[in-house]
Amino acid sequence: MTFASVVLDIPTRALDAAFDYAVPAALEAEAAAEASSCSGSLVGCTVLVPFSHRHVVGYVVALSSEPPAGIDPSKILEVERILASSAFDEASAEVARWIAREYSCPLCEAIRPFLAPGQTVKVRRASDADPWELVCEKSGPVDERWVSLTEAASSFEPRANASKQRAVLSALSGGPMRVVELSATLPGSAATVTSLERKGVVSVERRRRVRGQDATSLSSATAARPEHLTAGQREALCAIDAACESASGDVVVVDGVTGSGKTEVYLEAIERVRSRGGSALVLVPEISLTAQTVGRFRSRFGDDVAILHSRLSAGERFDQWDLARSGQAHVVVGARSALFAPLADLGLVIIDEEHEASYKQDSAPRYHAREVAARICRERGCALVLGSATPSLESLERCRAREWGGVTWTRVCMPERPGGATLPEVSVVDMTEQFASGRKHMFSKPLADALLDVARRREKAVLLLNRRGFANFLMCRECGAVPECPHCSTSLTYHERTHSLVCHSCERSWPIGTPGSPMRCPSCNSPYLGAYGVGTQQVETALADLLADADVTVVRMDADTTKGKGEHQRRLEEFDAAESAVLVGTQMIAKGLDFPQVTLVGVINADTTLKMPDFRAAERTFDLLEQVAGRAGRGERAGRVIIQSYWAGHPAIQAVRTHDRDLFVTSELAERRDGNYPPFSRLANVLCWGRSESDVRRVLDGVAAELRSRTEGRPGWEVLGPAECLKSRVKDRFRRHILVKAPVGEELGPVLDACVRAQDKPRGVNVAIDVDAYDMM
């Protein structure tokens, strides 16, 4: 007899354990016979099991031939049926267990990302007569019917009045067609096909359609393989080979400036893994998953690539996922969630732009793709490659330590672009000087002149508008100062409703002045203190003004203009196709674009991310500026970058100007060490929200008290708060939070979990635990 350990799909903290069920022989045979299975057994299957007088969906995480200890085998209930074939194997189940523990979430939530996209099954209570029914998203495989002529067709002569038959036969003379296509061009032809099929003149067969295999029309998408690898590329590949060989989950950080040929390294490394019969997984940030990136992988590996991202429909996602599971594709390129794709014989995981905050999932399970990838690689004995022009401080610290989390971390630098393409010249325009000299336009004199030059030379430019966290600050237009809390080094946030400035580190607040006596700049006493912000549309208008006499295409890309399916792509193609053009956009244009004709990159407002109340604010600003600067001068013509800033002297901005990252990293690491922030500690955010402010307060005060009593006296642990969140009220829910710091290497998840479990939560109060939090607003 076989026994299955089943995790029930009931996401309450109390029902977290796996339950044991007996597996009837027939079900075991059914699972083993399933061709498209990840584990070749019942492990990874979605099953229906009885549980306390009802039926519940569950996931099999392990099998055993021994009955569970201490239970009479005859009392063990049976698995009732298999609802979906295996989507993961034992190693993945192990990773899911780790996710649940590390990020403090119910085990079933940690398993869900491993399931086939759009195949979630739920049990719903139906009528009294029929106590339950299954609800299933419908996105399984799609079959299509194809019609083609048989050999008998050549000697078949339709009757004189059978004009429909003639039309169908003539349409098919060019080759097989889909029935739906035929019906669209020849209405009513489906019936004709049936009668011709009966006569043996045509045959109809079902073919599996794979959704989501779109072609691309971008010019640079089919990049050729370079003749020689650069020294940096060879060194990186050497390190990756060694990591593959050690088969223990070793990590290689490819620290290469933009355009240094990191993608080329990935392609080559994947090729080597494939030639050894292995498969590879590549994660890229969602917004850089453009046809351009996809095209480079497709042009090298053809149909061996499956693509997974959120702009695909559920059906497309399923088909792409299934290409990996069925072994038809050995390379998966996708966004964060592609990490869970069921690739057999995984040999290599690559995370491009590993510093990106979007690798942290902001809903349960709140995992970080980098950490989960490291875990997967250890579990499966494969290599992990982290690529970036601006590696995260976390990764840099681990490389410095060499050994971290039981594996070796190696950093390889690629400081040069191949073929002599030079890094762009970066200049910083001090906007306070521009303002002082009377120029109040959003384009400084140098930027306006450079844009006109681009138009004259028929080249292309990219203009970045940094939009994050903008209007929340008051800024002095004369000296660029942003009022800061005298007790914390945190910028004060402007709250319009209460007309006050608030510090979100210590929760002190100050009134902002009255109409008769406005607040003045704390540094220069100027009255020009205001919330200041522009949108991409205003930039577009200003640009149209500036370039009124030049024939230049202006393409705008932001959340509004790229909502529709394919819009993102269409706009990039428009920019690509134009003779001379300016691309105006938000953060989404900073990454992955490789257009050789771009000779100018302008950053309209470099500073907005710098003053965010977030310890990573400077790092994010530096990353963004480096990224966007890297869009310039990728072709033969040299590029230049103009950054407009009110804080021109900030290390993050100076480091971009001088191409000297150490300048930034050194000053930033010193600040992080001082404040006991990551990478020198771990940080978690415990968020509580609900309609009743007093309930929220009571619950979170309880959690904080519990946390303090459990961590009292433990070196390196700090409990900050509870305090109101920066977004103190969202959708009528009050939001408060606690920040918890712990020494690196300590397990935060189980501690936080125990403290939250210990509280009684009234209805309508929610608590979320976010370990290694990125968004603390």
Contacts with ligand ADP, residue ranges (CB under 6 A): 223, 226, 228-230, 233, 256, 258-264, 418-419, 594
| Minimum CB–partner distance for residue 214 and ligand ADP (Å) | 21
Q: Tell me how far apart the alpha carbons of residues 22 and 45 are, in angstroms, rounded to a whole number.
A: 14
Which tokens go with 390?
Answer: 């601006």
Which tokens go with 689?
Answer: 């929200």
**Of 39-47, 120-128, 434-442, 477-485, which segment contacts Zn ion by CB under 5 A?**
477-485
Of the pair 395, 434, the CB lying nearest ligand ADP is at 395
Of the pair 23, 218, the CB lying nearest ligand ADP is at 218
The entry of Zn ion, ligand ADP, none near residue 263 (CB within 5 to 8 angstroms by kind) is ligand ADP
Residue type, 344: A
**Of 75-83, 325-333, 482-490, 537-545, which segment contacts Zn ion by CB under 5 A?**
482-490
User: Quick check: 501 binds Zn ion (CB under 5 A)?
Assistant: no
The entry of Zn ion, ligand ADP, none near residue 122 (CB within 5 to 8 angstroms by kind) is none
- Cross-strand partners of 573: none
Of the pair 162, 720, the CB lying nearest Zn ion is at 720
Of the pair 11, 226, the CB lying nearest ligand ADP is at 226
Residue type, 644: Q
What secondary structure does DSSP assign to 575-634, as a single string? Answer: HHH-SSEEEEESGGGSSS---TTEEEEEES-S-TTTTSSSTTHHHHHHHHHHHHHTTSS-
Q: What radius of gyration, in Å, describes the C-alpha atoms of the chain?
A: 30
Of the pair 44, 256, the CB lying nearest ligand ADP is at 256
Of the pair 227, 662, the CB lying nearest ligand ADP is at 227
- State yes or no: cis peptide before 679, omega within 30 of 0: yes
**Pair 700, 685: CB distance under 8 Å:** no
The entry of ligand ADP, Zn ion, none near residue 485 (CB within 5 to 8 angstroms by kind) is Zn ion
Residue type, 368: H
Considering only residues 526 through 585, tell me which ones interact with Zn ion, judged by CB under 5 A.
526
Of the pair 183, 220, the CB lying nearest ligand ADP is at 220
Q: Tell me how far apart the alpha carbons of residues 99 and 93 are, in angstroms, rounded to a whole number.
A: 10
Q: Tell me how far apart the alpha carbons of residues 418 and 261 are, in angstroms, rounded to a whole number.
A: 7
Q: What angle do CA 85, 87, 91 make, to 5 degrees?
A: 130
Residue count of the chain: 777
The entry of Zn ion, ligand ADP, none near residue 262 (CB within 5 to 8 angstroms by kind) is ligand ADP
The entry of Zn ion, ligand ADP, none near residue 535 (CB within 5 to 8 angstroms by kind) is none
3-class state of residue 182 by DSSP = helix
Helices 262-275 + 231-246 axis angle, to 10? 40
Q: What angle do CA 370, 371, 377 make, to 5 degrees?
A: 90
**Pair 8, 50: CB distance under 8 Å:** no
Q: Give the CA distances from residue 168 to residues 152, 205, 509, in Å, rounded to whole numbers and listed in that order.
A: 15, 16, 77
| Minimum CB–partner distance for residue 421 and ligand ADP (Å) | 7
| Minimum CB–partner distance for residue 644 and ligand ADP (Å) | 25
| Minimum CB–partner distance for residue 510 and ligand ADP (Å) | 45
Of the pair 89, 416, the CB lying nearest ligand ADP is at 416
Of 287, 315, 140, 117, residue with least CA distance to 213: 315
> Strand 425-430 to strand 640-645: parallel, antiparallel, or no bridges (unpaired)?
parallel
Residue type, 275: S
| Minimum CB–partner distance for residue 86 and ligand ADP (Å) | 36
Of the pair 263, 759, the CB lying nearest ligand ADP is at 263
The entry of Zn ion, ligand ADP, none near residue 223 (CB within 5 to 8 angstroms by kind) is ligand ADP
Of the pair 260, 621, the CB lying nearest ligand ADP is at 260
Q: x/- site string to Zn ion, residues 503 to 532, per CB under 5 A? A: x-xx--------------x-xx-x------
The entry of Zn ion, ligand ADP, none near residue 62 (CB within 5 to 8 angstroms by kind) is none
The entry of ligand ADP, Zn ion, none near residue 233 (CB within 5 to 8 angstroms by kind) is ligand ADP
The entry of ligand ADP, Zn ion, none near residue 159 (CB within 5 to 8 angstroms by kind) is none
Of the pair 478, 772, the CB lying nearest Zn ion is at 478
The entry of ligand ADP, Zn ion, none near residue 523 (CB within 5 to 8 angstroms by kind) is Zn ion
| Minimum CB–partner distance for residue 594 and ligand ADP (Å) | 5
Half-sphere exposure of 616 (CA within 13 A, CB side): 19
User: Quick check: 100 binds Zn ion (CB under 5 A)?
Assistant: no
Of 305, 386, 382, residue with least CA distance to 345: 382
Q: Tell me how far apart the alpha carbons of residues 225 and 227 are, in angstroms, rounded to a whole number.
A: 7
| Minimum CB–partner distance for residue 69 and ligand ADP (Å) | 54
Of the pair 76, 229, the CB lying nearest ligand ADP is at 229
User: Quick check: 481 binds Zn ion (CB under 5 A)?
Assistant: yes
Q: Tell me how far apart the alpha carbons of residues 305 and 302 are, in angstroms, rounded to a whole number.
A: 6
Of the pair 19, 510, the CB lying nearest Zn ion is at 510
User: Quick check: 488 binds Zn ion (CB under 5 A)?
Assistant: yes
Among 479, 612, 624, 748, binds Zn ion (CB under 5 A): 479
3-class state of residue 340 by DSSP = helix
The entry of ligand ADP, Zn ion, none near residue 594 (CB within 5 to 8 angstroms by kind) is ligand ADP
Which tokens go with 145?
Answer: 């019917």
| Minimum CB–partner distance for residue 522 and Zn ion (Å) | 8
Which tokens go with 658?
Answer: 């001088």
Of the pair 282, 600, the CB lying nearest ligand ADP is at 282
DSSP strands (E only) in 192-289: 202-209, 251-256, 279-283
| Minimum CB–partner distance for residue 418 and Zn ion (Å) | 46
The entry of ligand ADP, Zn ion, none near residue 491 (CB within 5 to 8 angstroms by kind) is none
Of the pair 99, 475, the CB lying nearest Zn ion is at 475
Count of residues near Zn ion by CB under 5 A: 14
3-class state of residue 247 by DSSP = coil
| Minimum CB–partner distance for residue 416 and ligand ADP (Å) | 11
**Pair 395, 405: CB distance under 8 Å:** no
Q: Tell me how far apart the alpha carbons of residues 592 and 89 are, in angstroms, rounded to a whole number.
A: 33
**Pair 616, 774: CB distance under 8 Å:** yes
What is the sign, positive or negative, of the torsion defined by CA atoms of 439, 444, 445, 449? negative
User: Quick check: 431 binds Zn ion (CB under 5 A)?
Assistant: no
The entry of ligand ADP, Zn ion, none near residue 476 (CB within 5 to 8 angstroms by kind) is Zn ion
| Minimum CB–partner distance for residue 700 and ligand ADP (Å) | 44
Of 660, 744, 133, 646, residue with least CA distance to 426: 660
Binding site for Zn ion (CB under 5 A): 476, 478-479, 481, 485, 487-488, 503, 505-506, 521, 523-524, 526
